[in-house]
Amino acid sequence: MKNVTIQDIARVAGVSKSTVSRVLNGTVAVNPEKKKSVLDATKRLGFKPSLIARSLASGRSMTIGVLTQMIGSPFYDAISQGVIAGLGDTGYSPLFADGRWQVQKEADALTALVGRRVDGVVLVGGSMTSEQISEVCMGLPTLTVARRFYDQPIHSIAIDNELGGYQATDCLLRLGHQRIAMIRGIEQHEDARDRFAGYQRAMGEAGVAVDPSLVVDGDFSAESGIRAVGELLSRGCEFSAIFAANDLTAFGARLALDRNGLRVPDDVSLVGFDDQMESAFFVPPLTTIRQPAREMGKQASVAMMNLINGSGFESCLLTSELVVRESTRSVKD
């Protein structure tokens, strides 16, 4: 069977070869009618573009490396789905890797992605320093999602985690709670530190002293929520509410409370962070701080295309939103 050429497609579509090239490369806007004519012609002729040929012609691999922290986590998967949706008609495909919340594995995964000659890298969360990222990426278009660097030139799309921590704690304070426990995330992670800072600010503004015995370290996992509640109870701490560093931690905390005969929200009010899809179907439905995960992923794809094509991109900080559901109640109820 004869190989279909760009000239064949141009003849059938009634357009120039340069128009066909622009449509197939997907990097330049083309008149919608001409684009449709070209795509219809490729189907009629049975044309299947060679990614290798396109890469050689453009000097690009037409791939974007996406480094996440926990494949299977609803929050990170939502961001990844947003990246996939955002790349939809760009001609680019994502390559995924997983850092598993370990700096060395994260660095190894990033090195592997760069070694695959990706055209850009999207880091979803993570614990590598900006210096480590810059050293591996060496000028490659790079941005982070759901994480930001305060004084470094790495592009980012994130939410204000300090504000989110404040909103979660303030919600509990307004319900009359004062003995509010905090299950933190990974100690060295910026998100965890910022959310804890928001907790401290809200408590301070309300004139409520932070009791160190009510603060327990976690690692953003459901297991750490179970362990943290066990630790709080073993300390003999009195608390009427818990702010968990993320929804997964809240899920684990809910299970541990139930196992110890404590009901949510009758005995203990519970607030999470992220607003994972499952949070609305939690029993009881979880009050949490919403991060627009899928939208952040889509924005990351658009930003990456701008960086690759030299259009530039300004880092953005999105506002978090408190979503009140049935896992919280007033101490007077």
Tell me the C-alpha distance between 40 and 33, whole Å.
Answer: 11
Given pLDDT bands bounded at 50, 70 and 90, which one contains residue 58?
A: low
Given pLDDT bands bounded at 50, 70 and 90, which one contains residue 113?
A: very high
Residues 24 and 124 reside in one and the same domain: no
Residues 207 and 113 reside in one and the same domain: no
| 3-class DSSP state of 3 | coil
Residues 191 and 127 reside in one and the same domain: no
Q: Is residue 332 part of a domain?
A: no
Share in percent of the chain as helix, strand, coil (round to 5): 45, 15, 40
Q: Is residue 34 part of a domain?
A: yes
Given pLDDT bands bounded at 50, 70 and 90, which one contains residue 26?
A: low
The gap from C-alpha 275 to its chain's centroid, in whole angstroms, comes to 12
| 3-class DSSP state of 91 | coil
User: How many folded domains does the chain comprise?
Assistant: 3
Residues 278 and 303 reside in one and the same domain: no
Tell me the C-alpha distance between 212 and 291, whole Å.
Answer: 28
- The identity of residue 140, as a single letter, is L
Residues 112 and 165 reside in one and the same domain: no
* DSSP code at position 245: S
pLDDT score recorded for residue 2: 57
Tell me the C-alpha distance between 125 and 122, whole Å.
Answer: 9
Q: Is residue 309 part of a domain?
A: yes
Residues 34 and 101 reside in one and the same domain: no
Evaluate if residue 327 carries a pLDDT over 80: yes
Residues 189 and 244 reside in one and the same domain: yes
Q: Is residue 328 part of a domain?
A: no
Residues 281 and 176 reside in one and the same domain: yes
Q: Which domain holds residue 272?
A: 161-290
| Burial of 178 per CB tally in 10 Å (0-12, 13-18, 19+) | middle
pTM (2 d.p.): 0.77
Residues 76 and 107 reside in one and the same domain: yes
- Relative to beta strand 142-145, strand 121-124 is parallel
Q: Is residue 330 part of a domain?
A: no
| Side-chain half-sphere exposure of 53, counting CA atoms within 13 A | 8
pLDDT tens, residue by residue, 208-238: 999 999 999 999 999 999 999 999 999 998 9
pLDDT tens, residue by residue, 177-193: 999 999 999 887 888 99
Residues 165 and 283 reside in one and the same domain: yes
Neighbours of 239 (CB within 10 A): 21
Q: Is residue 165 part of a domain?
A: yes
* Stretch (H or E) spanning 210: none
- Relative to beta strand 316-318, strand 215-216 is unpaired
Residue with tokens 């007077």: 332
The mean pLDDT of the chain is: 89
Short-list 157, 126, 158, 154, CA closest to 301: 157
Tell me the C-alpha distance between 118 and 55, whole Å.
Answer: 11
Name every residue whose Cβ is closer than 8 Å to that of residue 275 and which is 6 or more positions away in sequence.
247, 288, 289, 290, 291, 321, 323
Residues 168 and 256 reside in one and the same domain: yes
CATH number at residue 92: 3.40.50.2300
Distances, alpha carbon 205 to alpha carbons 69, 173, 305, in Å: 34, 10, 43
Given pLDDT bands bounded at 50, 70 and 90, which one contains residue 6?
A: confident
